[in-house]
């Protein structure tokens, strides 16, 4: 740092350069010497200089080169009651404040945030990210945060800002109603909501946050492991096909000789495991249903097919459904003939009964006698 340079008894040049990259405020050390009337004050870009006289904030200077005289120290002149100018030295504390951005500041939730997820129910979330900060009101920042600290760094205010961020983030994430699995795609919008919510509080410190980022929102480790297992099952899909694929893949890597034999055994074992797993998950043969049949018992017969239902169209109206036994009785009674129009599920349209599966009913029933017989 360049503290200035002394000529004789009084300070002639007042300036500050800093290469620490984390110093926000530095007090110009007078070392018991007064500031000479007419001294040169250099304020560089990204800086501001604040004069404190007898404990009161006097003047604030932005970037530029100033000669400290009555015309550019109006407030200090009033405090000193020098109505007609002055030429004697005066004693004031001068604070240089960096107004550049302080980037890559870290934030995170110290404790998990309880939220209600529509799919998983109550969950605990953690989050972390980065932000940048900058002094927007040097006088307010000096009065509210720095006080009389002769050298103030970004670390001294970052803890307070992190607390403000964590509080607002907890409230916003709890009210957002965004499912946990969709939060990764909404970190940008959530970051804007958090930045908007904390701006009034941060502005009260004389600061602003030009950038705010949410890098990650995570679940507890045990919940993440459960989700990984759930994802693995979803990827496997049909366990039978999955095991067959694994066995085939092992065979493809087998090579020749002993490796090929080992791969073949592994493939056979994989196929057998797949069949066993498929049978165990069958509700009719596994532990969730009836006990499986013994090795020597024959399989049960299949259930009989459902009876086919028929409809009859006559005189612009339809009747039915009728079972085939009912139709056989109609054929015997003569109310159903070969020319009767019928329909059943699976047919493209209405057809004469003699052109359908009902034709066999007419083979067992003699046709009506010829006229005059």
Give the CA angle between residues 340, 345, 349 to the nearest 5°.
55
Q: Can you tell me the distance from the alpha carbon of 349 to that of 326, in angstroms, rounded to the nearest whole number?
A: 21
pLDDT value at 265 more than 70: no
Percentage of the chain lying above the pLDDT 90 cut: 27
Q: How many CB atoms lie within 10 A of CB 92?
A: 21
The reported pTM is: 0.55
136 found inside a domain: yes
Residue 373 belongs to a domain: no
Answer yes or no: do 182 and 84 share one domain: no
**204 in a structural domain:** yes
Out of 55-64, 81-90, 209-218, 257-266, give the one with best mean pLDDT.
Answer: 209-218
Listing DSSP states for 165-227 in one string gives: HHHHHHHHHHHH---GGGGGGGHHHHHHHHHHHHHHHHHTTTEEEEEEEEEEEE--HHHHHHH
Alpha-carbon span 257 to 262, nearest angstrom: 9
- Write out pLDDT tens, residues 319-367: 888 988 888 888 888 888 988 999 898 888 899 988 888 888 887 656 5
Shared domain for 164 and 206, answered yes or no, is yes
Q: Is the same domain home to 86 and 113?
A: no
Are residues 91 and 10 part of one domain?
A: yes
Q: Classify residue 287: in a domain, yes or no.
A: no
pLDDT average, residue stretch 63-72:
77
- Per-residue confidence (pLDDT) for residue 82, from 0 to 100: 44
Specify whether 171 is located in the same domain as 73: no
CB 169: neighbour CB atoms within 10 A?
25
Domain containing 167 equals: 102-222
Beta carbons of 79 and 7 less than 8 angstroms apart: no
Tell me, what CATH number does 167's domain have?
A: 3.30.479.30
Instruction: Please give the pLDDT value at position 213.
Output: 94
Last residue of a domain, one of 65, 98, 131: 98
CA–CA separation, 237 vs 253, rounded Å?
23
The answer to whether residues 213 and 137 touch, using CB atoms and an 8 Å cutoff, is no
Backbone angles phi, psi at 29, to 5 degrees: -85, 120
Both tokens assigned to 155: 């670390």
Look at residue 165 and tell me whether its pLDDT is greater than 90.
yes
Structure tokens, 227: 């989700």
Within-domain flag for 284: no
Residue from 105, 119, 98 nearest 45 by CA: 98
Question: Distance from CA of residue 7 to its chain's centroid?
Answer: 62
End position of a domain, from candidates 183, 199, 222: 222
* Shared-domain flag, residues 142 and 197: yes
In a domain, 345, yes or no: yes
- Cα separation, 126 vs 107, whole angstroms: 11
| Closest to 109 in 3D by CA, of 190, 218, 200, 186 | 218
Are 92 and 192 within one domain? no
Quote the mean pLDDT of the chain. 77
Query: Could you give the 3-state DSSP secondary structure of residue 85?
Result: coil
**Given strand 341-344, what is the order of strands in its sheet?**
317-322, 310-314, 341-344, 351-352
Task: Give the integer Cα–Cα distance in Å for 129 and 194.
Answer: 12
Whether residues 119 and 47 share a domain: the answer is no
Residue 70's pLDDT band (boundaries 50, 70, 90)? low
Least confident piece of the model among 69-73, 264-268, 310-314: 264-268
For residue 122, list its beta bridge partners.
116
Cβ atoms 44, 63 nearer than 8 A: yes
Pair 208, 318 in one domain: no
In the chain, the percentage of residues whose pLDDT exceeds 70 is 68
Split into its structural domains, the chain has a count of 4
pLDDT tens column, 234-245: 665 555 665 666
Helix (H, G, I), strand (E, B) or coil at 65: strand
Cβ proximity of 129 and 214 under 8 Å: yes
Backbone phi, psi, residue 228, to 5°: -60, -40
H helical segments located in the chain: 74-80, 138-141, 155-176, 187-203, 221-236, 239-252, 258-280, 324-333, 359-363
- Residues whose CB falls within 8 Å of the CB of residue 110, separated by 6 or more in sequence, listed in order: 166
72 and 11 in a single domain? The answer is yes
Residue 243, domain member (yes or no): yes
Residues 269 and 210 both lie in one domain? no
Residue 148, in any domain of the structure: yes
Are both 149 and 218 inside the same structural domain?
yes
């Amino acid at each position: 740092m360049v503290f200035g340079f002394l000529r004789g008894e009084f300070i002639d040049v007042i300036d500050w350069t800093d290469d620490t990259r984390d110093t926000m405020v530095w007090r110009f050390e007078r070392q018991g010497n007064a500031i000479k009337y007419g001294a040169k004050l250099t304020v560089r870009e990204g800086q501001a200089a604040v004069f404190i006289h007898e404990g009161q904030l006097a003047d604030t200077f932005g970037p530029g080169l100033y000669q400290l005289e009555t015309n550019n120290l109006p407030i200090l002149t009033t405090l000193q009651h020098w109505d007609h100018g002055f030429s004697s030295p005066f004693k004031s504390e001068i604070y240089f404040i960096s107004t550049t951005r302080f980037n890559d500041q870290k934030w995170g939730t110290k404790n998990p945030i309880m939220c209600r997820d529509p799919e998983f129910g109550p969950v605990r979330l953690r989050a972390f990210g980065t932000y940048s900060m900058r002094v927007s009101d040097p006088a307010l920042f000096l009065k509210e945060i720095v006080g009389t600290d002769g050298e103030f760094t970004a670390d001294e205010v970052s803890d307070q800002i992190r607390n403000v961020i964590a509080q607002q983030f907890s409230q916003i994430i709890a009210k957002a109603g965004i499912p946990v699995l969709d939060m990764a795609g909404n970190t940008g919008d959530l970051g804007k909501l958090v930045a908007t919510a904390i701006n009034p509080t941060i502005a009260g410190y004389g600061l602003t946050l030009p950038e705010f980022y949410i890098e990650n929102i995570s679940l507890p480790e045990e919940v993440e492991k459960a989700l990984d297992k759930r994802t693995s099952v979803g990827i496997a899909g049909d366990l039978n096909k999955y095991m067959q694929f694994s066995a085939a893949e092992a065979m493809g890597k087998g090579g020749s000789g002993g490796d090929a034999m080992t791969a073949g055994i592994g493939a056979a074992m994989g196929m057998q495991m797949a069949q066993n797993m498929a049978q165990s998950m069958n509700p009719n043969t596994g532990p969730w249903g009836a006990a499986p049949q013994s090795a020597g018992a024959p399989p049960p017969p299949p259930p009989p097919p459902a009876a086919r239902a028929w409809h009859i169209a006559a005189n612009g109206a339809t009747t039915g459904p009728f079972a085939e036994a009912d139709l056989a009785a109609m054929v015997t009674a003569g109310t159903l003939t070969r020319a009767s129009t019928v329909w059943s599920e699976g047919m493209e349209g209405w057809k004469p009964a003699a052109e359908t599966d009902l034709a066999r009913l007419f083979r067992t029933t003699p046709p009506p006698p010829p006229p005059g017989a």
